[in-house]
Structure 1
């Protein structure tokens, strides 16, 4: 299965998946109550430090932000036009911190561990005869592959820039869609080979 998981035995890898997911969820709620740029800068430095603790491979994951540059630029421009530039900076920093934090969980958590951590949230469905693992698998796949799709877009944009000199174009959308469909096929094949959602169990 395609994966962004970084093999290792760091303290982040050993931290339980449920605790990491809960920490990111709580941090997200708290950061939406904050407007201070200094707090966001401090949180950004902390998250970057966590990536640095994983070594070069961890720091390389920061390239994920390349896929967000256009969106963040447009967002900042809109706030500048509306006269709320500082508020826009706070929004952008909040988004960067949350994206990096979510990606950090993804690269330090095995897929089956993430699935086991999310499954208890859907246990009430079993009272009505539905599988809890299927929706949990959907959530785990989103957490795992959303950053991967951003990396795909970043690579396509870099290739397009090297050929045309332009960083962005609507022409990037068709190859992005094709790459995402190929990825979904690979993931589907891997899931079928492992027995679907029920086959993804801890070993």
Structure 2
């Protein structure tokens, strides 16, 4: 399993995860109120500058984590190009990039254990309704850890497809990807049960 915490240490690593998540929530709400394309561009430049302030290697690592967004940006571009609403499409794409970049920044500079502890603490009132905060926290941790693993396996499957076919990989790889995800989930469930379960 992988962790998304960046090994390149920054001053943000020393800030507790609670204030960072609060700042992310407030910043995301404020970001999606913006409609002016120039303001959104300025925010994008500020976020890029923040990443670059921690060094080129850190910024490159953060940029690599944004790569999975390209299909969504492509769909936005095609749709808004077809409808003729380029400004709306560009604004949405910019806000999506900034929101994901900021979320990645929090994840890259926070230990997963700290995030699990915080989620457990915040979800404690839900135990009155029968929902275990521990189960919720572990589920969140598994999503964070296994998303890059599944993406890497999907990339490998795409490479295998291209090695055997002149055609591009398409929807046909979704079934094997789904089966791999189910197989991984089964193994993780067995490992959790072997350690006493939740």
TM-score, normalised relative to structure 1: 0.76
- CA shift for structure 1 position 158: 6.0
Structure 2 CA distance for aligned equivalents of residues 49 and 152 of structure 1:
32
Q: Matches of residues 83-122 of structure 1 in structure 2 within 5 Å? A: 83-122=84-123
Which residue number in structure 1 is paired with residue 3 of structure 2?
A: 3
CA RMSD in angstroms comes to 3.1
Q: Does residue 14 of structure 2 align to residue 14 of structure 1?
A: yes
Contact 1:10 1:54 in 2 (8 A): no
Q: Which residue of 1 aligns with 2:79?
A: 78
In 2 relative to 1, CA 124–192 (structure 1 residues): closer, same or farther, beyond 3 Å?
Answer: same
- Secondary structure in structure 2 of the residue aligned to 1:3: coil
Contiguous gaps of at least 5 residues in structure 2: none
1:141-189 per-residue CA deviation (whole Å, 9 max, x = no partner) reads: 4355445545554565566567656665113323432443354356546
What does the per-residue CA deviation read over 1:104-129, in whole Å, with 9 as the maximum and x for residues that have no partner? 22222222100112222211123456
State the number of aligned residues: 197
Deviation larger for 180-189 or 15-24: 180-189
Structure 1: 5+ residue stretches without partners = 198-203
Secondary structure, counterpart of 1:33 in structure 2:
coil
Select the structure of larger CA radius of gyration: 2
For residue 4 of structure 1, give the secondary structure of its aligned residue in structure 2: coil
| 1:1-203 map, 5 Å | 1-52=1-52, 53=54, 55-128=56-129, 130-146=131-147, 149-150=150-151, 152-153=153-154, 156-157=157-158, 160=161, 169-185=170-186, 187-188=188-189, 191=192
